[in-house]
Amino acid sequence: MPSFPLPPEALVRRVGWDLHTRDPVEAYEERGGEQWRLIKSLLPEGWTFAGKRVLDFGCGAGRVVRHALLEDPGGEYWGCDIDSRSVDWMRAHLSPPLHVFKTEDWPPAPQPDGQFDLIYALSVFTHLLDSWSAWLLELHRLLAEEGVLIVTVFVPGIGAHGEVPIGEAIKGMNVLERGTEWEDGGPLIVHSEWWLRAHWGRAFEIVELRRGVPSGPPPLFGQGVVVMGRRPGTFSRADLERLEPDEPREFAAVQQNVASLRREVEGQAAVIRTFATSRSWRLTRPLRSIARLLRARTAR
């Protein structure tokens, strides 16, 4: 059996598999294999990879797709990611046979309509904030008419965030840690099952929805998974985002999002107050005043 190298530890740590393990590279290898076997278990009975095109959307440095290349070489495998370092590494070490392309913050992707028979996105829509509907529609465009889309989500594996309850009835699509930078994992998005069926179900038929387990055992580690087929038709972001009529939980979800945002703003304000009253902040105040004067003079 052929083999492929493992990425450097910096790229392994980017996808968070260094948590709760003494050997992040070993965990990266083991968990990537577990998740590829999970994907195969979710496919329709009689599925074969022969002649099929498969896209790992948000693949990092190929944690999962490298196992696809090794275990099921009959397919044509593609991987894409927003991170240039990961894409460059895959091009150097996994391509060929892997086809690799880079994505930007927003669609489109440089591929034709209906290109892929299977698309999977693991730990992607758990972090997409404003662009979620745009990317979901882009995957709808890229998916073949009889194709399968597999996406992991936090539903309802998370029932609380710290001491704050975020249960199924009130979270909808709830954004936690909104201000977190991408290098630190980005925002954390949790979904309600009713919300996914209402909003994602407008463009996709939800074939299966497995809820997450809060204790987070492998292979999903606290996430749930949605298996979908492509509904015919053309849809807009407004189609996916509009509130479900006569659904009182939509309003509760909006309230929950406002409360989450308020808590984050209050937390950031406390950090700023602590920083602004520190000795180093006071000592550098004259330098900041000079900098403001220089900027104003330059502007004039």
279 — pLDDT class (breaks 50, 70, 90): low
Q: What share of the chain is helix, strand, coil (3-state, %, to 5)?
A: 40, 20, 40
Q: Is the backbone of residue 144 left (phi > 0), alpha (psi -120 to 50) or beta?
A: beta
| Residue 73 C-alpha from the chain's centroid | 26
For residues 259 and 256, what is the distance between their CA atoms, to the nearest angstrom?
5
Q: Model confidence over 180-204: pLDDT tens digits?
A: 776 666 788 889 999 999 999 999 9
pLDDT score for 208: 96
Q: Model confidence over 99-133: pLDDT tens digits?
A: 999 999 999 999 999 999 999 999 999 999 899 99
For residues 203 and 11, what is the distance between their CA atoms, to the nearest angstrom?
34
Identify whether the C-beta of residue 154 lies closer than 8 Å to the C-beta of residue 262: no
List, in order of start, the domains of the chain with CATH numbers: 9-249 (3.40.50.150), 255-299 (no CATH)
Q: Model confidence over 149-165: pLDDT tens digits?
A: 999 998 765 666 666 66
C-alpha separations of 236 from 145, 189, 226, 239, 240 in Å: 18, 21, 21, 5, 7
H/E element, 184: none
pTM comes to 0.84
For residues 64 and 20, what is the distance between their CA atoms, to the nearest angstrom?
20
- Spell out the residues 6+ positions from residue 105 whose beta carbon is closer than 8 angstroms to its own: 82, 131
Map residue 277 onto helix, strand or coil. coil
Is a pLDDT exceeding 70 seen at residue 41? Answer: yes
